[in-house]
Structure 1
Amino acid sequence: MRHIEPDPIASVRHLKSLVPPVVCLLWLAGLPLAAQETTASIAGVVTDATGAVVPGVRITLQNTGTNATYTGATNQLGTYTIRTLPVGVYRLIAEAPGFRRYEAAGIQLQVNEVARVDITLQVGQLAESVEVAASVVTVNTEDATLRTVVDQRRVEKLPLNGRDPVQLMRLVAGVSLYQGGGVTSGTTYPGVVPVSVNGNRGNTTNYILDGGQNNDHYNNAPNPMPNPDALQEFSVQTNNFSAEFGRQSGGIVNAVTKSGTNELHGTAFWYLRNNTLNAANFFAPAKPGQPDKKQDDGLKRSQFGLTGGGPVVLPGVYNGRDKTFFFGSYQGTRIRRRPTSSFVNVLTPKERAGDFSELGRALRDPAGGVFAGNIVPPSRFFAGSKFFIDNYIPAPAQGRLVTITNVANYDDNQYLAKIDQQFGSNVRFSGRGFWSRAHQPGNLNPRNYLETTDIRDWRNTSYVGNLQWVISPALLNQTIFSYNTTDGPAAHVYPEKGWPDLGVKITVDRFYQYHMSFQTISGINTGDTNNFIREEYQAGNTTRWTRGRHSMAFGGEYHWALGDVVNNYRAQGQFRWQHSA
């Protein structure tokens, strides 16, 4: 019996999801809020030599890389808090009449963390100064969030297979590689690895890059991250994170890319793996004609690129030192492997001629009864089937096994560009673009349709704009806009003939494909043509206000997401042959 099954999935689908704005109001007793996007905070208490608190102390922080300064002051309780600080190394200065000037250098501020630096002032003239090495409390005493920061040193120094920094998440307690299914698919960008946080599913982790959402909302897998030389650091929050982190309940990964400074810096890199330097797998087969040597995998993987950043300086036109900075990065990946080989079952030479005498059971005639001697007369052959077998399925040398090979090459390119602009001392803007492009070539052996590989492309584009405005030392505003799109189209090398050309009277589109399955020999599937476009827009605004012991944060965030699926999966039907035939 022969079945033709057109698939109802073969249609154009459009899915639009609209996430309404959510406004949240938080009132916390003396607990500074961690900035959601890309920043850090610093807090502490200022006392004199007797331990009494000192109000009205002017606090100045200076970024040692960009010379940007941020100011605050202690309140009546002697405490101070300065928020929305770009991650980096800072110098702190505390000044008050009747006390010596206090200076502390080397204060490292990390993403989503509140560094605590308590200050003790000494009586004296303001012209006198006391310089100390900063004593930063690294244990989180400001809120109940459980978080770990994977800093730049670990990102750059620890070995990573494939240079994927997200692998470092597994250094965090409670985080493990997700072993379940349903998170990634063929349209997911290659190389992304979902993780489980505290036993949650792999699609319950929220990934944020420079403040913008970095999730593939088709199945909530992560989108690609920049290479380690372009990533500053990232924090992993595993429990008790603030309500401003919505979307997912499992965990929060908040990553920040590098920025330029007043010094021009750059790197160039090239990492190489080559099969001539690797030992063959213990279970690898012997080389053809050399039974005493094992066949290697033929792997040649090159990862190369460069980064650069500094001030924007146009001689005679514009000097951007202390205010305008750029950073850029490129990474290319090229993977070449020996084509993969496998065995498939095909018709024996006798069966191709209609002789099934070795079948071991009676061969039923669709017209009734059985074929005498299990031999099908040539007059009963369907011309289209005979043409397909003779031209597109190879005959085995012996038995019914043949060896097929398929290409396994892969190219990947990542580009990143970032600009930072300081407008005076109170307004700062950061804009970043990130582009990832990957390609896998396809093939279809014109004489063997069992040798086929889909043509795959993966494209991810991400833009983020972040504006921070210090209205006053106690009132801060942050606005963010982002756009993220992911696309994973699949195509195939089209067969030279379609079903109508073989005499099968069905209507098909121009994307010829064959999809056939059998009980005793290997199936044939020359591939499908489909497209999975995902887009997401994000706009948010957060205002933070500090008064006395209390901090209040209020704002809103808007998301608009589109999933546009164009899929002709099995659009030209599927043919199945069963034992009952």
Structure 2
Amino acid sequence: MRVAGSVFPSLRSQLVLLLGVFLLLPPALFGQASYQAQIRGTVMDAMGAVLTNATVTITEVGTNLSQTAKTDRTGNYILRALRPSTYGLKVEAPGFQTVEQKGVVLAVDQETSLNFTLRPAGTSTEVLVTEAAPLLDTQSSSLGTDVTNEYVKQIPLLNRNFFGLVFLNAGVSETAGSGTADNYPSGTNFVSNGQRNATAEVRMDGALISAPEEGEGGNSNIFYEPSVEAVQEFKVQNNAFSSEFGSNGGTVVNMALKSGTNAFHGSGWWFGQRDALDANDFFSNQAGLPKPDHSRNQYGISLGGPVRKNRTFFFVDIERVLETNPIHIVGTVPTADERKGDFSKSLITDPDTGNVVPNLIFNPFSIDQTTGDRDPFPSNKIPQNMWDLVGQKLLNLYPLPNQPGNPDGTNNFRANTNLANKSLQFDIKLDHEISSTTHLAARYSHAHSSQNAPTVLADGDFNDGINYVTGVNNGGLQFDWTLRPTLLATGRFSVDLVHAPGFTTYPTAASVGFPPLLDNANPGISRIPAIQVDSPWTSIYDQCCVDTKLDHTLYSYSSALSWAKGKHNIKFGFEQRQFFNNFQEPNYASGYFHFAQTVTEQTIGGFDATQGNPFADILLGIGDYGGIGVDPMALNKSKDTSFYVQDDFRVTPKLTVNLGLRYEWSTPYTERFNHIEFSDFTGDSGIVLDLSSGDPGLQALGLGPTSLKGVTRFPTSSQRNVPVDRNNWAPRLGFAYQLTPDTVVRGGFGIYYGMNVATNYQYVGTAFRKDGNVYFTKNNFNCTNGNKASCQYATLANPFPAGLPEPQGTKYGPLAEWGFANQNDLGTSEARNAEIYQWSLGVQRLLPGQLVVSVDYSANRSTHLPWGGASGSTTRNRDYIPSALRRQFSQQGDCNPDGTVNFSQLYSYNNLHCLVTNPFYSMFQGPNAVFNEPDSLYNDAQIPLINLLRPYPQFDGFFEGLPLLTASSFYNALQVRFQKRTSHYISFEGGYTLSKATDNSSSGRNAWVYGLAFDNPQELDNLKAEHSISANDATHRLAMAIIADSPVGRGRWIGRDMNRILDGIVGGWTISTILSFQSGQPLDLGMSEPTLDDGNQRPNVVCNPSSGVSAHRSALTGQSTFNTSCFADPGLEQAGNAPRYFSNLRSNGIHNVDLAISKEFVPREGMRLELRGEFFNLFNTPRFAPPDTLYGDSTFGQISSIAAGSTPRHGQVGVRFEF
């Protein structure tokens, strides 16, 4: 299926563009971040004098490809553009012995130093150096962790997702609120060095594969994750002081894929998961529920080798995943009697007494004129002549009950279905040596995945009825050209294309009698509206995001010119990224209808939990409210551009100084059809209006003639986006000093600029979309007795009697969206990039046993971060009531009987929402009306008082733009990294972090990405009060991977000459494990029933709440994890004194051990067969979700679920063959 406006070019045009980049753009004009390694050093004679014009030759063992360098007048040489691999070096000079060093292993983006001393030629003309290449990094000031192929292959990885190894790096921790599962954003869902999650950059063979998150931008996300079998190794750099890195939060994940060699090598594998190997969930065990069924098969093959030996090489891999997970559905559906209007047997549980009582329903169209209450339906039955035809069909879409359910009839339906996930992916990689000075590398990767779940109820709680297809095409081309021995040019082009439409198998709206306009509101989307009902009844077809459609294309163009001049290694570069994002996620594309108990309960506006039934509402065809979202696809384009220069200056053989300067800027998004808007918060509308309408009571509040500020600007030919921030200069400075042969001191400082908040946005401008409201009544069900028409406005067959309103477009000019919430995405000020200042100082030491330990102080200070929050009181909204004025309305009071303000009890919470004369009425109604918007509240003669007290009274609640870019954070950490090469049959690596992070906003623009959807300020005009410990603070974290080979077996310490049969039994065993321990993260507390307008109300703290039971005990007994009596309601319209996050109240930490046991067989030389058993969360240690943090809930402080991303013990078995 091709989405309208798709950005998918044809394959032919892609190839033409790919070649054109390299034919038309001189490599020296561009620059990129490299994954390749380099070696530099000095050649001297036995007396310590430098040797000029010595020849240094490096040869890759697998391909026999060589590169040669000459020493300059200072005796220095440099070898660059080296793939991560194993090499041999040879150093030659006339009159001197030739020196060879073998087994030099180079990692991703490694800069290593090898110095050689040549002795005069004598009886021996060649010397073989057998010692291993140095483990110490003597050239770079950056901090990071190399994860070699040994760990990629051996460490147990859930679903074989190698991104789990990112957490081995010191300074990397999980994201608050979303768990350690690498679910979304994919590949970047971690916190690094105190930065917000999903801000890292991911590169594959040097090509960028992380793109801005498609919904709201400002975060990174990847759609293509290569198979473990394709990954050679990768490196996590979370203090990358080289100026070639930028446009991210300071962390780069740089991976290298495998390449072919002169010999054919390959592998085949199968890994399977079955529920028989799994443990049950903690709470399922408590409830006596069986563990769910589960099945997963993951299998594939890889092959690499020569196309032409010593010249052209290939590597391919293909992998298939088939996974089935059960969906257990439990719901409350209408009985056969209820479908016929008979509610005489319907029961409900009285929440006050716990008793099961009759569920009485009342006629919303028959009012007792004496009491004002609704009349009961005789015998609790709805007469057939009152049945709504559409409503009857809706009830019959529910499956019939198949269980007796609870005593009150709830949970009378159960069903089991399966969620099927399928994926297929492959990589093709070619390396070609054009000549001794030119090299070409190309890669193409493809993935296709689908998720399908049959529709049963399509209630959002169960995820049945969700269907997605995702297609990814990712490729890269790199050209290396050695212009002369001291000059290397590298050019690269990469592209990432994603096509991901969602779809449903729901019936159409018209099939049950809804009008055709619901099926046509959003072209291409035709399905039944969401039918929402109050709990404990079950909704149907109420799924979020099932209509999402995504097409994105990310182009990245780059090259570099590297110049070796004496002690200097200088790199010049440029990079540009262009991001095209076509996105559509309609807000209820064909509508939603909400049916509440209150519609059929006795008292209008009251609430009796035993009365009213939403199924009765449906049968009557009258709901509480409804709506529809008309949201055209947004077609965005943005780009990032950067220049840099980097000089790695080897001042002395022991001291290297890294100097760099980067200049970058982000060009905020434009929309292809200019369907965006800019909120001008100071713009003069030219309209003066008396907001008091002459009312003395309103005049006493200071309302009167006002010149209205705040207008909307539309794009012009000269201004299609918000202003560009062009002040992003990023100096970098670092050093590495080899204090002793086994000790290096390093440090650095750098400025980075975070991802721009305006890379893309999921919606077009407010005036180009429309949220239509369904009003079942316009007079609060104030019916003339027995006269349905006197109170019901909308019906299910005709939900929009005045027609579905069209988007405004530009017809009102700067007055767009008056009378509505104006939720524009952009303002008129520049979209400034966050400024990130990072620095570190540490020491690295080589210890006996080939163990390298680094101890570093690492810190960063970030400013101009976007404030977070996803709904409600976010800094995007500038139309909020000032807190000083709001606090005046702090005493309980009521509106007058007609809903208007009671000025004798003026300062009350309720009075803010009482009705006053609408000063805008004549602009919406009458002969001089400016606006023709029948669904606006401003058509009414009265509007809520609070609207007039806000700074932009012309809007109904919101006037938004980009979030404020003034948030900040501070991170300090002691980071310990350790790595031991294999010796005595054991190797390990990992990191420990002791840290503290503080901030005033822990989530970015798209807070849903962070799992911190309500990280909102309490008072928008008192943002200083938001400073606290960060949600992502994790005081302690230890992560460690260990590989231990058994010393028993053929060729090993015990049984070196063991016969093959015995070796097949007792030899070749390996145990590998990854250990993860992390402190809990801070809790934030809110109110279950907040009474703070335009703010995220927090409770008052009246004593130290840190006393409480453990998380495990809370989960067992229902006791609170903190002292709930230490909190109090701050009162109406009052801000609580609780901090945004509590440093002394924390969620459950991580205590996890994953273990793999493998047995290796060697059928013949060069072949290996491996059997593996892997267990994740080996000790089945539950990690509990945070407790209920809403003050006022009956379960406040109690734990009732497992943390997101945490699973009980999970087993996986596998077999792997390689040759």
TM tier relative to shorter chain: 0.7 to 0.9
In the alignment, does 2:444 pair up with 1:433?
yes
AA in 2 matched with 1:334: L
Matches within 5 A, 1:275-354: 275-278=275-278, 280-281=280-281, 284=284, 295-312=290-307, 320-337=308-325, 339-354=326-341
Distance in 1 (CA, whole Å) between partners of 2:68 and 2:131 is 18
Where does residue 563 of structure 2 map in the other structure? 545
In the alignment, does 2:144 pair up with 1:147?
yes
**After superposition, what is the alpha-carbon deviation per residue over 1:136-176, rounded to whole angstroms, capped at 9, x for unaligned?**
23222212111221111111111111111111111111112
Name the one with the larger strand percent.
1
In the alignment, does 2:420 pair up with 1:416?
no
Mark the structure with the bigger radius of gyration. 2
**After superposition, what is the alpha-carbon deviation per residue over 1:427-477, rounded to whole angstroms, capped at 9, x for unaligned?**
0000001111111123124xx565842111122211000000111121010
In the alignment, does 2:543 pair up with 1:524?
no
Distance in 1 (CA, whole Å) between partners of 2:277 and 2:479 is 50
C-alpha RMSD of matched pairs (Å): 3.2
Equivalent in 504, 509, 530 of residue 515 of structure 1: 530
Distance in 1 (CA, whole Å) between partners of 2:180 and 2:577 is 21
Distance in 1 (CA, whole Å) between partners of 2:516 and 2:66 is 76
AA in 2 matched with 1:325: F
Where does residue 1168 of structure 2 map in the other structure? none
Where does residue 191 of structure 2 map in the other structure? 196
SS of equivalent to 1:444? coil
Taking a change above 3 Å as real, the CA distance of residues 364 and 372 of structure 1, as seen in their structure-2 partners, is closer
Does the CA contact (< 8 Å) of 1:545 and 1:551 recur in 2?
A: yes
Distance in 2 (CA, whole Å) between partners of 1:463 and 1:40 is 21
Give the gaps of 5 or more residues in structure 1: 1-10, 17-22, 26-33, 313-319
Taking a change above 3 Å as real, the CA distance of residues 397 and 40 of structure 1, as seen in their structure-2 partners, is closer
Taking a change above 3 Å as real, the CA distance of residues 468 and 107 of structure 1, as seen in their structure-2 partners, is same
AA in 2 matched with 1:508: D
Distance in 2 (CA, whole Å) between partners of 1:42 and 1:354 is 83
Percentage of pairs with the same residue? 25
In the alignment, does 2:376 pair up with 1:372?
yes
Distance in 2 (CA, whole Å) between partners of 1:193 and 1:555 is 26
Distance in 2 (CA, whole Å) between partners of 1:500 and 1:441 is 23
Distance in 2 (CA, whole Å) between partners of 1:12 and 1:372 is 52
Distance in 2 (CA, whole Å) between partners of 1:159 and 1:76 is 51
Matches within 5 A, 1:20-419: 36-124=33-121, 128-180=125-177, 192=187, 194-217=189-212, 218=214, 219-278=219-278, 280-281=280-281, 284=284, 295-312=290-307, 320-337=308-325, 339-356=326-343, 363-366=362-365, 368-369=367-368, 370-373=374-377, 374-395=380-401, 397-398=403-404, 399-401=409-411, 402-419=413-430
Taking a change above 3 Å as real, the CA distance of residues 578 and 250 of structure 1, as seen in their structure-2 partners, is farther
Does the CA contact (< 8 Å) of 1:117 and 1:134 recur in 2?
A: no
Distance in 2 (CA, whole Å) between partners of 1:213 and 1:86 is 17
Does the CA contact (< 8 Å) of 1:484 and 1:535 recur in 2?
A: yes
SS of equivalent to 2:519? coil
Taking a change above 3 Å as real, the CA distance of residues 159 and 474 of structure 1, as seen in their structure-2 partners, is same
Taking a change above 3 Å as real, the CA distance of residues 556 and 286 of structure 1, as seen in their structure-2 partners, is closer
Where does residue 750 of structure 2 map in the other structure? none
Question: Post-superposition shift, 1:572?
Answer: 1.3
Question: Post-superposition shift, 1:277?
Answer: 4.4
Distance in 1 (CA, whole Å) between partners of 2:182 and 2:113 is 44
Does the CA contact (< 8 Å) of 1:392 and 1:449 recur in 2?
A: no
In the alignment, does 2:573 pair up with 1:576?
no
Question: Post-superposition shift, 1:134?
Answer: 4.5
Does the CA contact (< 8 Å) of 2:153 and 2:228 recur in 1?
A: yes
SS of equivalent to 1:167? helix
**After superposition, what is the alpha-carbon deviation per residue over 1:507-546, rounded to whole angstroms, capped at 9, x for unaligned?**
4236122302122422222654331111111111110111
Does the CA contact (< 8 Å) of 1:116 and 1:138 recur in 2?
A: no
Does the CA contact (< 8 Å) of 1:500 and 1:507 recur in 2?
A: no
Q: 43-52 or 498-507, which moves further after superposition?
A: 498-507
**After superposition, what is the alpha-carbon deviation per residue over 1:405-431, rounded to whole angstroms, capped at 9, x for unaligned?**
342221111100001000121100000
TM-score, length-scaled by structure 2 = 0.42
SS of equivalent to 1:524? coil
Q: 401-410 or 36-45, which moves further after superposition?
A: 401-410
Taking a change above 3 Å as real, the CA distance of residues 471 and 134 of structure 1, as seen in their structure-2 partners, is farther
Does the CA contact (< 8 Å) of 1:97 and 1:126 recur in 2?
A: no
Where does residue 8 of structure 1 map in the other structure? none
Question: Post-superposition shift, 1:180?
Answer: 4.4
Question: Post-superposition shift, 1:354?
Answer: 2.8
Equivalent in 513, 516, 519 of residue 502 of structure 1: 513
Does the CA contact (< 8 Å) of 2:551 and 2:582 recur in 1?
A: yes
Question: Post-superposition shift, 1:273?
Answer: 1.8
Distance in 1 (CA, whole Å) between partners of 2:449 and 2:255 is 22
Does the CA contact (< 8 Å) of 1:434 and 1:461 recur in 2?
A: yes
Taking a change above 3 Å as real, the CA distance of residues 449 and 335 of structure 1, as seen in their structure-2 partners, is closer
Does the CA contact (< 8 Å) of 2:306 and 2:314 recur in 1?
A: yes
In the alignment, does 2:463 pair up with 1:464?
no
Question: Post-superposition shift, 1:311?
Answer: 0.5
Does the CA contact (< 8 Å) of 2:532 and 2:542 recur in 1?
A: no
Does the CA contact (< 8 Å) of 2:303 and 2:316 recur in 1?
A: yes
Distance in 2 (CA, whole Å) between partners of 1:410 and 1:564 is 25
Question: Post-superposition shift, 1:256?
Answer: 0.7
Does the CA contact (< 8 Å) of 2:549 and 2:583 recur in 1?
A: yes
Question: Post-superposition shift, 1:286?
Answer: 11
Q: 535-544 or 454-463, which moves further after superposition?
A: 454-463
AA in 2 matched with 1:365: P
Where does residue 479 of structure 1 map in the other structure? 491
AA in 1 matched with 2:472: N
Taking a change above 3 Å as real, the CA distance of residues 185 and 568 of structure 1, as seen in their structure-2 partners, is farther
Question: Post-superposition shift, 1:504?
Answer: 4.8
In the alignment, does 2:466 pair up with 1:454?
yes
Taking a change above 3 Å as real, the CA distance of residues 171 and 308 of structure 1, as seen in their structure-2 partners, is same
Distance in 1 (CA, whole Å) between partners of 2:211 and 2:567 is 40
Report how many aligned residue pairs link the two structures: 540
SS of equivalent to 2:594? strand
Where does residue 3 of structure 1 map in the other structure? none
Where does residue 315 of structure 1 map in the other structure? none
Distance in 1 (CA, whole Å) between partners of 2:540 and 2:343 is 21
Distance in 2 (CA, whole Å) between partners of 1:105 and 1:48 is 21
Distance in 1 (CA, whole Å) between partners of 2:506 and 2:541 is 11
Does the CA contact (< 8 Å) of 1:36 and 1:112 recur in 2?
A: no
AA in 2 matched with 1:113: Q
Distance in 2 (CA, whole Å) between partners of 1:151 and 1:371 is 76
AA in 2 matched with 1:424: S
**After superposition, what is the alpha-carbon deviation per residue over 1:319-344, rounded to whole angstroms, capped at 9, x for unaligned?**
x110000100011111123x321322
SS of equivalent to 1:92? strand
Taking a change above 3 Å as real, the CA distance of residues 516 and 507 of structure 1, as seen in their structure-2 partners, is closer
Distance in 1 (CA, whole Å) between partners of 2:548 and 2:240 is 41
SS of equivalent to 1:153? helix
SS of equivalent to 2:74? coil
SS of equivalent to 2:243? coil
Taking a change above 3 Å as real, the CA distance of residues 134 and 304 of structure 1, as seen in their structure-2 partners, is same
SS of equivalent to 1:409? strand
Name the one with the larger helix percent.
2
Distance in 1 (CA, whole Å) between partners of 2:285 and 2:130 is 62
Distance in 1 (CA, whole Å) between partners of 2:432 and 2:442 is 9
Distance in 2 (CA, whole Å) between partners of 1:408 and 1:449 is 13
